[in-house]
Structure 1
């Protein structure tokens, strides 16, 4: 029986295991393939995006596990807890830190991401953590159970995980200082109007947002625990009990450095998610596309793309070779209590193509806005960002495929309406603002 070993039990690895089982089960009830899921983080799969809600008291860890513990045995998916130290591709052997080994016929690397560290003095002290793994949540609960134990937290890095951690700490009334290297929050991704709105929103939640500010070092008390941080630009010392490092992530592939598997930033794969070594594949956050689709980045640390890669690779492993084609870019997130969606491509000020024109509308309450990107010469719709407004994915996917023009999109926004109450109140205002901009441009 062919043995498929998957290193990593996140959304990519688990989706792959489930779909291989579904596709390979025999009519007589036999499994068809042996599947082993390996993880050093947790025994059972959980929803990583739900970690913040455990700390905020909205759910327990058990609630984040989509499958009951009996699910794995019933579906003949073996679970192995252990840390892979080395991969020998010639003999198809995994070597574990614990000293044991495991043979495979096909290997899938789905090890996800790890937080970036930039060599800051004190970055490995007690009380310094990311917010990526179950162990990070346990660490946060230990060092910041309430505002009596944790008098202040400092967050370093202005991405989506940073804003989640700020919201978490804010929910327990723990004062937060937020160090963001950029001049405006997430301005490498968001256009200026949106980024500025989020700056104001963060400050309105009584978070001490420091823009254009870098961490110099983290200082320790006599017990090897965080006591303060020093700001690079001014030398200011800020007393704190917790430091959250959220300055982005990189693929978790250090254990492959001495293997024959080709790596760059991530594990290099082709459109079929194959590495340079036969019978070895990579999916999810740790995979680096050598032929990325359209404007997509070679490495995408996004939940839904990981799930899609798992579904596609299951087809290939079960004999129906299929290329990975993620389609039009979309994503969603939350900035405190403002929901964010993006469909297609809307570039921030950095890296914005010369041909990309923007229409931006913001509501007077400063918590809702949209930005529509279109080609300035052809008027073809390129993408949309929405804050505080829910729109249908299927509608924008269709319009992007049909290459609709921006006038059509603005005139038919009601068809993308996910929240009827919103458009009953603001649709005319958005269209009027668009017409005013057209007059100014012309």
Structure 2
């Protein structure tokens, strides 16, 4: 019986195992050093915040794996030997395979800062990171101030977590505005305001120079590179992005870049070895996507795709239109298609931006100036329907069609209708249009069959 070994039990690895089992009776071994059982990584913050227990983050009961004949091994892979088709664990255990799937995810970036390995300095990615955070920042008596380095989604999650325990937070963001490498300026500015309204000390244009130790080898302070200011703190959260977790492969024959290099079938250069999820790097990016996509849903899609190939149905990875979602404190964010920030915006890309005058609600819509084709949308605080935007992008609908039928895509039609005339009027004035919104029957608005 063919034996498939999967290294990593995150969403990519587990999805692969589950779908292989749906399609075949192949022997499956799932190896993980992080946790014995799969858990939802995005839920870690809610454990610290007291909204759930860790066991509530496990989507499957512990008996699920045995019932589905998926063997779990709790251990760290030290080495992969492609010639002998063997992986070796840190305890010297060897496991042979017929086909190997590398799904080892990411690890927090470290950029060689002095003091980056001190006690009290950590990332927020793994179960172990959550456990370490409970030690480093159990309350505001032990942790009198935290400094977070890096203005991404993990950084803002960590800030929110710490503030629920009334721990003061200073947030160092080297850019001139939060996440402005991803967001257009209007949205980025709104998030700046929102962060500060939550009593987080946001420092823009501020990067880390060094982390200083106390006499016991724990973090005592950080120094800001641009100003030389020293900030006393008990915790430093390193959240300046992640990098593929592939160090254990450096002595193998597997081709590596920043990640494990793969083709459209998620195959490496070595026969019978594949890579998926955060650690996989496409030789050539797919459309406007990045070669490495550290995103939950792409890991799941890669797992589903690879399972088909491993079960005799070779299938290319085709992720479709880009979409993503996140939360900035209590603001929900969704994006569909492509809405680039000003510095990377395409020549023909035009933006329409609307923001509520008082609430933290806004939309930015991108379209092609020449063809008038809808390119993408960002929404903050407004929930939209994925299937409708996905269809509009596939059909290459015009911006006029999207503006006229926006109520169809909104989860809360009453909310949209409240501001519909204001939004469309602003669009018409800005672009010299005369869009008339379509009146919808209740049956169409609520998608009643």
TM-score under structure 1 length normalisation: 0.97
SS in 1 for 2:294: coil
- Residue 250 of structure 1 is matched in structure 2 by 243
Counterpart in the other structure of 1:7: 7
What is the deviation of 1:422? 1.6
CA contact (8 A) 1:125 1:220 kept: yes
The one of 57, 69, 77 equivalent to 2:62 is 69
Cα distance, 1:172 vs structure 2:
1.0
Query: Any idea what SS the aligned residue of 2:342 has?
Result: coil
**CA distance, structure 2, for counterparts of residue 418 and residue 409 of structure 1:** 15
Structure 2 counterpart of 1:17? 17
Contact 1:197/1:366 (8 A) holds in 2? no
Q: Does 1:272 align with 2:231?
A: no
- Of 422-431 and 2-11, more deviation after overlay is shown by 422-431
Q: Does 1:292 align with 2:285?
A: yes
Counterpart position of 2:334? 341
Q: Determine the C-alpha separation between the residues in 1 that align with 2:121 and 2:30.
A: 30
> How far has the Cα of 1:424 moved from its partner?
3.0
Shift of 1:406: 0.6
Which stretch shows the higher mean deviation, 422-431 or 132-141?
422-431
Q: Deviations over 1:71-104 (max 9, x none)?
A: 0111010000111111110000111111121100
Superposed CA deviations along residues 250-299 of structure 1, whole A, max 9, x for unmatched, are 11001111101111011111111011111000000000012322101100
Q: Distance in 1 between matches of 2:416 and 2:363?
A: 13
Between the aligned partners of 1:428 and 1:243, the Cα distance in structure 2 is: 47
Deviation at 1:12, TM superposition (A): 0.3
Given that 2:121 and 2:236 are in contact with CA atoms closer than 8 Å, whether structure 1 keeps it comes out as yes
- Contact 1:291–1:298 under 8 Å retained in 2: yes
Alignment correspondent of 1:159: 152
Tell me the residue number matched to 2:297. 304
Q: Which residue of 1 aligns with 2:107?
A: 114
Provide Cα deviations, 1:129-163, integer angstroms capped at 9, x if missing partner. 11100011011111111111111000000001101
CA contact (8 A) 2:33 2:76 kept: yes
CA distance in 2, matches of 1:249, 1:170: 23
How far, CA to CA, are the matches of 1:72 and 1:35 in structure 2? 10
Deviation, 1:318, is 0.5
State the TM-score, normalized to the length of structure 2.
0.95
1:349-394, Cα deviation, whole Å (9 max, x unpaired): 2211111100000001240000000001111100000000000000
Aligned equivalents of 1:143, 1:277: Cα separation in 2: 42
Residue of structure 2 equivalent to 1:49: 42
Aligned to 1:29: none
Is 2:355 the partner of 1:362?
yes
Q: Which runs of structure 2 are paired with 1:351-430 in the superposition (5 Å)?
A: 351-430=344-423
Q: Partners of 2:413 and 2:69 in 1: how far apart?
A: 45
Which residue pairs with 1:231 in the alignment? 224
Q: Is the 8 A contact 2:382 2:410 kept in 1?
A: no
CA distance in 2, matches of 1:294, 1:233: 37
Q: How does 1:122-201 map to 2 (within 5 A)?
A: 122-201=115-194
Query: Aligned runs of 1:62-101 on 2, under 5 Å?
Result: 62-101=55-94
Q: Hey, what does 2:436 align to over in structure 1?
A: none
Identify unmatched segments of 5+ residues in structure 1: 25-31
- Look up the SS of the partner of 1:308 in the other structure: helix
Checking the alignment, whether the CA contact within 8 Å between 1:128 and 1:244 is kept in structure 2 is yes
Deviation at 1:6, TM superposition (A): 0.1
CA distance in 1, matches of 2:38, 2:415: 37
1:207 aligns with 2:164: no
Tell me the CA shift for residue 170 of structure 1: 1.0
Partners of 2:121 and 2:168 in 1: how far apart?
A: 16
Q: Give the distance between the partners of 2:389 and 2:152, measured in 1 at CA.
A: 25
SS in 2 for 1:222: coil
CA RMSD in angstroms comes to 1.1
State which drifts further: 416-425 or 333-342. Answer: 416-425
How many angstroms apart in 2 are the aligned matches of 1:148 and 1:254?
37
SS in 1 for 2:61: coil
